[in-house]
Amino acid sequence: MIQEYLQYIKAVKGLSDNTIEGYRKDLQQFVQYAKAKGLRWSTLTEQDIDSWLASMAAQGLAGKTRNRRLSALRTLLSWAQHKGILTINAARFCQSAKTHETLPQAMSVEKIDAYLANRKTSTSSIITSLMVAIMLETGMRLSETMAIKVEDINTADKTIRTIGKGGRERFVIYGSRTEKELQQWLPAPKGRLLPSWSPSGFRAMIEEQLEPYTGKMHPHQLRHTFATEMLNNGMPITTLSTLMGHAHSSTTEIYSKVAKRTAQREYAHAAI
């Protein structure tokens, strides 16, 4: 049943391979628990699922992780009920764990600019600077940046075509930082803009080269920084949502809280 469901969300929902793999792992964890308890899909109850959630809590798993796994199971059972495989969705009314909201961590643009201003000579450092500039100015994800093709870039209007989560196409806009870095790298042959390295390789390279300037960081913080800066500078949340490739603007609203926190901190520093 799980394999058929994963095929469905790939073919119909258009979810990425990474997302589908996450679903598979979360559902497999429940299957392991169910087998150990002698549970069957056809007789699964809400109490069975509550016991599973309690067992994860007893293991010390974070509420966010438990909620993610519950969500994966709930959507699987909903699909199975719709298909007539099951008569009820036993997870429908199971309560999610209360979690403390973790706000995205933005970085100092000034420190990133200090890194970009440092003259680069090696190929790897030039590539890293280009990626940092693109992610900072467009809010693109690491995976999206890695997948850029030369023909996706329109240097006339400074836009990049990308395919985000769910196979959704969008166009992002870049600025002077990216334009400067592209001038060092282009013209390049048609095809991928960047080498076919692994995500972990790119991630490690960005972290290593930026850390002396920004401290310990994660590449996804460049996306957070883009969103926070855009809101701080007055961009409407609906426009930001489109640029970031969010299916719903509600996903983007978390950055409003980051922008508010930044404003409060700056006010406290400058208050007379």
What's the pLDDT tens digit per position in 64-96? 888 899 999 999 999 999 989 988 898 888 888
Boundary (domain end) residue, out of 49, 83, 117: 83
Distance CA 132, CA 184 (A): 14
Share of the chain above pLDDT 70, in %: 91
pLDDT value of residue 219 = 94
The CATH number that applies at residue 13 is 1.10.150.130
Chain segment 127-147, per-residue pLDDT in tens: 999 999 999 999 999 999 999
Chain segment 216-272, per-residue pLDDT in tens: 999 999 999 999 888 888 888 888 888 988 877 767 877 777 666 665 565 566 554
The CATH number that applies at residue 213 is 1.10.443.10
Tell me the residue range of the domain where 36 lies.
Answer: 2-83
149 is a domain residue: yes
98 is a domain residue: no
Least confident of 29-43, 58-72, 97-111, 177-191: 97-111
Whether residue 133 is found in the same domain as residue 266: yes
Whether residue 136 is found in the same domain as residue 261: yes
pTM: 0.65
CB 52 within 8 A of CB 39: no
Whether residue 120 is found in the same domain as residue 236: yes
CB 116 within 8 A of CB 206: no
99 is a domain residue: no
How does the average pLDDT of the chain come out, rounded?
87
Whether residue 61 is found in the same domain as residue 157: no
Whether residue 257 is found in the same domain as residue 185: yes
Boundary (domain end) residue, out of 66, 83, 100: 83
94 is a domain residue: no
Q: How confident is the model at residue 103 (pLDDT cuts 50, 70, 90)?
A: low
Whether residue 61 is found in the same domain as residue 182: no
18 vs 187, higher pLDDT = 18
Report the number of distinct structural domains present in the chain: 2
103 is a domain residue: no
Please compute the mean of the pLDDT values over residues 187-201 and round it to a whole number.
Answer: 84
Least confident of 11-25, 116-130, 166-180: 11-25
